Amino acid sequence: MATLLTCCLSERDKSQRLTSRDIDRRLNRDRMTFRRTVRILLLGAGESGKSTFLKQMRIIHGVDFDNEDLQEFKSIIYNNIVKGMRVLIDARDKLGIPWGDETNVKDANFVFSFDGNNKLDDHTFLQYVEPMKNLWNDNGIRTAFDRRREFQLGDSLLYFANNLDRIGQLNYIPTKDDILLSRKATKGIIEKILHIRGVPFMFIDVGGQRSQRQKWFQCFEGITSILFLASSSEFDQVLMEDRKTNRMQESCFIFETIINNKSFVNVSVILFLNKMDLLTEKVKAVNISDYFPDFQGDPHNIENVKTFLLRMFDSRRRDKAKPLFHHFTTAIDTKNIERVFRDVRDTILHDNLKSLMLQ
Ligand SMILES: Nc1nc2c(ncn2[C@@H]2O[C@H](COP(=O)(O)OP(=O)(O)OP(=O)(O)O)[C@@H](O)[C@H]2O)c(=O)[nH]1
Ligand SMILES: [Mg+2]
């Protein structure tokens, strides 16, 4: 019958049937890829390190930054440095800190006149380099920098200021470290697919600032795993958004809503207590019990502080039947993230395989 039918079909019908069979095959393949795709959602407050983690995924899995990316990062880095310096100039003034050297006022006025909305090209940036070096050497600016928890300054200015000689060269090209330390707040939803050992992994990066969080729910369906990042060094800082809420409190609050959300009962949520490098430095000088009076132990002992922070997040979970997967991370450190991700990947793939077999 089938043969009879086929022989009665015109050449055109035959080719259309072939095409439709091809489409079916393609759809099936897409469906399989869709089911096999591991979807990892990155969540956490603003500046917790989500986009930095995604940059590491690219670096670790060999998806290099092309020339266009490098130019874009260069512009972001220029902007980070000049804007950061402007913040310090303003803070020195508002905090009433005297200049180390009064003759730096001229340089301060010049740098402060930079319009933050403008994109900096090489030539314009170079004009700011010498004035910024003078300012960075000024005692008044350094005192303002030491009091940075009292205002809003990105975490990477110290690194960039210490590398100003190199970055201020005309033929400057950002290194991997420069890229990892650069900062641009995420707006919207960024999806990036990477093939890791033959398995498609989709990383979904969202903006963590308050205004961005209403977009999160759009990404909640079909998620395999959530990596929740919290910046552990921010226990003495307030939010950029309202300049009064403690950043660590905000982060715990967001974690609480995610971890207890019914949509995620079958999703593994892994907590990353990030910025361990900054936390280790901070606890040497700052007493966490000034901000969290329930802290018990030695406030200058990093292990005591890590245990306290982990318990604080853990205490927000209602369902204690499952253990809380967690890692202490430094997202700018490729080796650290490589090791942590290997562990996370195995856990996720194991869980994913189990659920695929159940389907
Ligand atoms: N020193 C240090 N800096 C880090 C670490 N993780 C991230 N940063 C820096 O912190 C800043 C903010 O990181 P992002 O990755 O942009 O943060 P985000 O969570 O994507 O922020 P939003 O997009 O606003 O939600 C960047 O300048 C990073 O280089 C870390 O472990 N240590
Ligand atoms: Mg981001």
**What digits encode the pLDDT tens for the residues 44-67?**
999 999 999 999 999 999 998 999
- Reported as a single tens digit per residue, the pLDDT across 294-303 is 999 999 999 9
Q: Which residues are annotated as a binding site for Mg(2+)?
A: 51, 186
152 and 192 fall within a common domain: no
Residue 53 lies in a domain: yes
Give the model's pLDDT for residue 213: 97
Of the candidates 50, 49, 118, 55, the residue with the CA atom closest to the CA atom of residue 83: 118
Residue 94 lies in a domain: yes
The sign of the dihedral angle between the CA atoms of 23, 26, 28, 30 is negative
Give the model's pLDDT for residue 8: 56
Residue 152 lies in a domain: yes
195 and 261 fall within a common domain: yes
170 and 48 fall within a common domain: no
Total number of domains in the chain: 2
Residues that are catalytic: 47, 52, 183, 205, 209
220 and 122 fall within a common domain: no
- Residue 225: pLDDT band (50, 70, 90) is very high
Residue 6 lies in a domain: no
- Reported as a single tens digit per residue, the pLDDT across 297-351 is 999 999 999 999 999 999 999 998 888 999 999 999 999 999 999 999 988 888 7
52 close to ligand 1 (CB < 6 Angstrom):
yes
107 and 237 fall within a common domain: no
Q: What percentage of the chain reaches a pLDDT higher than 90?
A: 82
Of 122, 156, 181, at which residue does a domain stop?
Answer: 181
Question: At residue 273, what is the residue type?
Answer: L
251 and 132 fall within a common domain: no
Q: What is the dihedral of CA 159, 165, 168, 170, to 10 degrees?
A: -140
185 close to ligand 1 (CB < 6 Angstrom):
yes
Ligand 2 centroid from CA 51, angstroms: 4
Q: Is 305 exposed, middle or buried (0-12, 13-18, 19+ CB in 10 A)?
A: buried
Long-range own/partner contacts, residues 192-199 (CB < 8 A, 24 or more apart): 192/54, 192/57, 192/58, 193/37, 194/57, 194/58, 194/61, 194/63, 195/61, 196/61, 196/345, 199/36, 199/37, 199/38, 199/349
How many angstroms from the chain centroid is the CA of residue 197? 24
Report the chain's mean pLDDT, rounded to a whole number: 93
Of 181, 213, 236, at which residue does a domain stop?
Answer: 181
* Residue 267 CA neighbour count, 13 Å, CB half: 24
Of 152, 181, 210, at which residue does a domain stop?
Answer: 181
Residue 266 lies in a domain: yes
Look up the domain containing 149 and give its range.
Answer: 67-181
- At 56 the three-state DSSP class reads helix
Cβ contacts of 101 within 8 Å, gap of 6 or more? 138, 139
Cβ(221)–Cβ(85) below 8 Å: no
Residue 31 lies in a domain: no
Atom of ligand 1 nearest to the CA of 54: 15
190 and 176 fall within a common domain: no
Give the model's pLDDT for residue 13: 73
58 and 75 fall within a common domain: no
Sheet hosting strand 225-231, strand order edge to edge? 189-196, 199-206, 38-43, 225-231, 268-274, 325-328
255 and 137 fall within a common domain: no
What is the CATH classification number for the domain harbouring 171?
Answer: 1.10.400.10
Question: At residue 284, what is the residue type?
Answer: K
Give the model's pLDDT for residue 33: 66
244 and 278 fall within a common domain: yes
- Residue 359: pLDDT band (50, 70, 90) is low
Ligand 1 centroid from CA 154, angstroms: 9
171 and 272 fall within a common domain: no
What is the CATH classification number for the domain harbouring 295?
Answer: 3.40.50.300
Give the model's pLDDT for residue 353: 73
Residue 43 lies in a domain: yes
* Residue 209 CA neighbour count, 13 Å, CB half: 13
Q: What percentage of the chain reaches a pLDDT higher than 70?
A: 94
Ligand 2 centroid from CA 311, angstroms: 26
108 close to ligand 1 (CB < 6 Angstrom):
no
Ligand 1 centroid from CA 231, angstroms: 8
174 close to ligand 1 (CB < 6 Angstrom):
no
Residue 168 lies in a domain: yes
119 and 139 fall within a common domain: yes
Atom of ligand 1 nearest to the CA of 181: 29
